[in-house]
Homo-oligomer: A and B are copies of this chain.
């Protein structure tokens, strides 16, 4: 097994012990909350990681693309929720997955899509497990829990012979919270919205067995999930600077980092040049809107400890400019050419997506495995 120092840079590092601890923490939450767990695999896109998150080898899981569904299905996962409203041009792909024995749940948030889906199911003579997406926080898609559209979609589907499996909501606004109290309130809003929507469908005679909620922050801080049947979360497996900024994890819970090398200095500017730019980190600057802006990433030593408030201040495609958070010149230039550093990312989903593999770090800087990831659609 090679040591960390022997890797060519940039490289995506995954600290196995931290990851396992993060998974254990979520498992304990799920147990305490008394719901089932449907991990979102969009952050890792990797069977080696997902296997440790799943309740059984057959799932359930949540995916963000049909390529993820295909990849995980080929590795034995049977119960998959595609958590983006279905587009008509994806239905042939859905059918191909069903033909392979996947129980693929689909999402709708409007009658137009429900109609296209029902027509397709009828022509193909196949079933579709459909959830109605509910908007609990105004951040994206879904119908409001108390809208007429919710019942309209539910009734249309039932009438067309497509059973409504349940409702789903995602409180993405939790990422913008500024305190644990605010996340807790958002978790309750997410729960209440989904449960209210399910209740209205049931009152209308639509069974709606599943009530699915989740985001990493709300999953970690929800106080109770009464009425909810299923929790989803994904980024918790790696965590990142945005999550640390929210108070959802500590810096030393972040399991993902980018290994980079010092390639030069600009003493006149207080800059140290690294061979990791936005291609290695992604352009995600999620902490820019948080109280502490970590620019393109927080720089750590090879053991994962932050170095003197050094940040990746700027990023070109393959060049990163490291300097002191204050942009002071003095004392910011002490790492010689060839020094390797680890950079904690703003957003694990975005940074990891730039790589085809995770280099898995065991104890003592040893690279114990290489885990492939998929990308694309």
Chain A residues packing against B (C-beta within 8 Å): 6-11, 42, 64-66, 84-90, 92-93, 109-110, 112-113, 116, 135, 138, 140-141, 172, 261-266, 269, 273, 275, 278-280, 282-285, 316-319, 321, 336-338, 340, 349-350, 353-357, 375-377
A-B contact pairs, 20 of them (CB 8 A): A8-B377, A9-B87, A9-B89, A9-B377, A10-B377, A64-B318, A84-B263, A85-B264, A87-B275, A89-B338, A109-B264, A112-B337, A140-B316, A140-B321, A141-B319, A279-B350, A280-B377, A283-B284, A283-B350, A356-B376
User: B141 touching A337 by the CB < 8 A rule?
Assistant: no
Task: Say whether, besides A84-B275, A264-B141, A318-B65, A376 and B349 are in contact (CB < 8 Å).
Answer: no
State the main secondary structure of chain A at its contact with B: loop
Chain B hits for A317, CB < 8 A: 42, 64, 349
User: A337 touching B116 by the CB < 8 A rule?
Assistant: yes
How many copies of the polypeptide does the oligomer hold? 2
Contact of A85 among B116, B273, B336, B356 (CB under 8 A): B273
User: B316 touching A8 by the CB < 8 A rule?
Assistant: no
Contact of A261 among B89, B273, B338 (CB under 8 A): B89
Chain B hits for A318, CB < 8 A: 42, 64-65, 84
User: A264 touching B113 by the CB < 8 A rule?
Assistant: yes
A217 to chain B: closest CB distance in Å?
15
Chain B hits for A10, CB < 8 A: 377
Chain B hits for A7, CB < 8 A: 89
State A141–B272 Cα separation when bound (angstroms).
Answer: 9
Task: Say whether, besides A64-B317, A140-B319, A337-B112, A86 and B350 are in contact (CB < 8 Å).
Answer: no
State A110–B316 Cα separation when bound (angstroms).
Answer: 19
A349 to chain B: closest CB distance in Å?
6
State A318–B321 Cα separation when bound (angstroms).
Answer: 29
Task: Say whether, besides A88-B261, A141-B273, A319-B140, A356 and B375 are in contact (CB < 8 Å).
Answer: yes
State A10–B84 Cα separation when bound (angstroms).
Answer: 13
State A116–B339 Cα separation when bound (angstroms).
Answer: 13
Most buried by B among A42, A89, A284, A375: A89
